[in-house]
């Protein structure tokens, strides 16, 4: 989809004439000219569908958020802190839409694909929106925790784990955006070496597909160790299991040269793992670090 029409773009082409118009627009970009020049209109319709559905789903998310927000705001059912939070979430959601188009633009002129930096920004912003939504939901359900970080305890362990997870996701986007998963499909070695020759500078870690894959796979192991030990400390079995499954799905994705089903499962797994981590982290912040247990019960607090 080479056009960004926030309102009328919700409808797909409804006539053969319109289909040919948008196909002609696609023929003008490098992706068609250098990679997909073999495509007929029927082939174009298939790839068009997935992008259209992705944008439609984003619009639906916005409606599902905005309509109840207006209703509860008018009814006076929102606490002052929640009004501010809701407006922040709305702004982040709108920014995510703009970031999506900013990403798409990078693949319409000189490149045959989108910039992996913009892809990473789009995915990371989606993750941050997800984290903010979950944290807000837990604030409403269980109470708003304090953010006292005065002592080194479970709180800092959890925050470090979350930070590492976000970095891992960013580098996963760097790998995907450069097709880095299609090379070095062995594990733990890469072409028989622990460190491939492409890892020759810090710049290569984000600009070279092989080096990006190297950094992603080992920051993922470090992240897994951090989250797993955090899960042990808070006795969260779901978090422990999901950590192992996510590492396993990443290795399996490599071994299959990025089988699309496994790759999608691996990406979705990162969000599931993040959700479980946010739940555990919210509990730790709510209950404090007494006796280094993080609290096994949620304390109801006034959320108004």
Mean pLDDT of 106-134: 93
Q: Are residues 211 and 130 in the same domain?
A: yes
- DSSP 8-state symbol, 190: B
CA distance linking residue 27 with residue 265, whole number of Å: 32
Q: Which tokens in the block code for residue 264?
A: 């999608």
| Cα(295)–Cα(281) distance, integer angstroms | 11
Q: Are residues 92 and 2 in the same domain?
A: no
Over residues 276-294, the mean pLDDT reads 79
* Rg of the chain (C-alpha set): 22
Return d(Cα 252, Cα 279) in angstroms, integer: 27
pTM metric for this prediction: 0.89
**What is the predicted pLDDT for the residue at 298?**
54
Domain boundary residue, one of 77, 112, 133? 77
- Does the pLDDT of residue 149 top 90, yes or no? no
Instruction: Based on the fold, state whether residues 48 and 84 are members of the same structural domain.
Output: no
- For residue 3, the model assigns a pLDDT of 84
Per-residue pLDDT tens over the stretch 3-24: 888 777 788 899 999 999 999 9
Ordered alpha helix ranges (H), the chain: 16-27, 30, 41-74, 80-105, 116-142, 154-177, 204-207, 209-234, 237-255, 260-287
* 88/174 same-domain check: yes
In eight-state DSSP terms, residue 194 is S
CA dist 59 and 97 (Å) reads: 9
169 with 62, same domain: the answer is: no
Which of 77, 108, 129 is a domain's end point?
Answer: 77
Please write the tens of the pLDDT for every residue from 156-179: 999 999 999 999 999 999 999 999
Please tell me the predicted confidence (pLDDT) of residue 10.
Answer: 85
Q: Domain boundary at 77, 110, 126, which?
A: 77
**Are 108 and 242 part of one and the same domain?**
yes
The boundaries of the domain holding residue 158 are 80-292
| 265 pLDDT higher than 50 | yes
Main-chain dihedrals φ then ψ at residue 13, nearest 5 degrees: -55, 135
The band of 110, judged by pLDDT with boundaries at 50, 70 and 90, is confident
Would residue 209 count as lying in a domain? yes
pLDDT of residue 6: 78
Q: How many domains does the chain have?
A: 2
Cα separation, 173 vs 252, in Å, equals: 17
What integer pLDDT is reported at residue 292 of this predicted model? 44
Does one domain contain both 115 and 11? no
The number of beta carbons lying within 10 Å of the beta carbon of residue 148 is: 10
* Residue 62 scores a pLDDT above 60: yes
């Amino acid at each position: 989809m080479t056009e960004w029409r926030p309102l009328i773009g919700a409808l797909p082409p409804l006539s053969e004439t319109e289909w040919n118009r948008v196909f002609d627009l696609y023929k003008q970009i490098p992706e068609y000219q250098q990679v997909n020049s073999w495509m007929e209109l029927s082939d174009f319709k298939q790839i068009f569908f997935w992008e259209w559905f992705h944008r439609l789903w984003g619009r639906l998310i916005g409606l599902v958020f905005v309509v109840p927000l207006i209703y509860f705001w008018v009814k006076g059912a929102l606490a002052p802190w929640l009004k501010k939070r809701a407006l922040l979430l709305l702004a982040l959601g709108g920014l995510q839409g703009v970031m999506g188009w900013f990403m798409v633009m990078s693949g319409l002129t000189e490149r045959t694909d989108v910039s992996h930096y913009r892809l990473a920004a789009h995915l990371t912003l989606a993750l941050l929106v997800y984290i903010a939504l979950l944290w807000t939901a837990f604030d409403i359900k269980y109470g708003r925790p304090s953010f006292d970080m005065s002592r080194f305890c479970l709180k800092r362990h959890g925050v470090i784990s979350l930070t590492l997870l976000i970095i891992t996701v960013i580098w996963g986007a760097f790998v995907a955006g450069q097709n880095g998963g299609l090379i070095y499909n062995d594990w733990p070695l890469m072409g028989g070496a622990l460190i491939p020759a492409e890892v020759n500078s810090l710049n290569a870690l984000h600009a070279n597909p092989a080096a990006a894959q190297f950094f992603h796979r080992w920051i993922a192991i470090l992240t897994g160790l951090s989250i797993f030990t955090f899960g042990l400390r808070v006795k969260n079995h779901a978090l422990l299991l999901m950590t192992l499954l996510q590492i396993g799905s990443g290795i399996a994705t490599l071994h299959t040269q990025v089988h699309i089903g496994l790759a999608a499962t691996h990406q979705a797994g990162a969000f599931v793992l993040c959700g479980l981590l946010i739940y555990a982290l919210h509990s730790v912040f709510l209950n404090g670090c007494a006796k280094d247990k993080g609290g096994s019960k949620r304390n109801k607090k006034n959320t108004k």
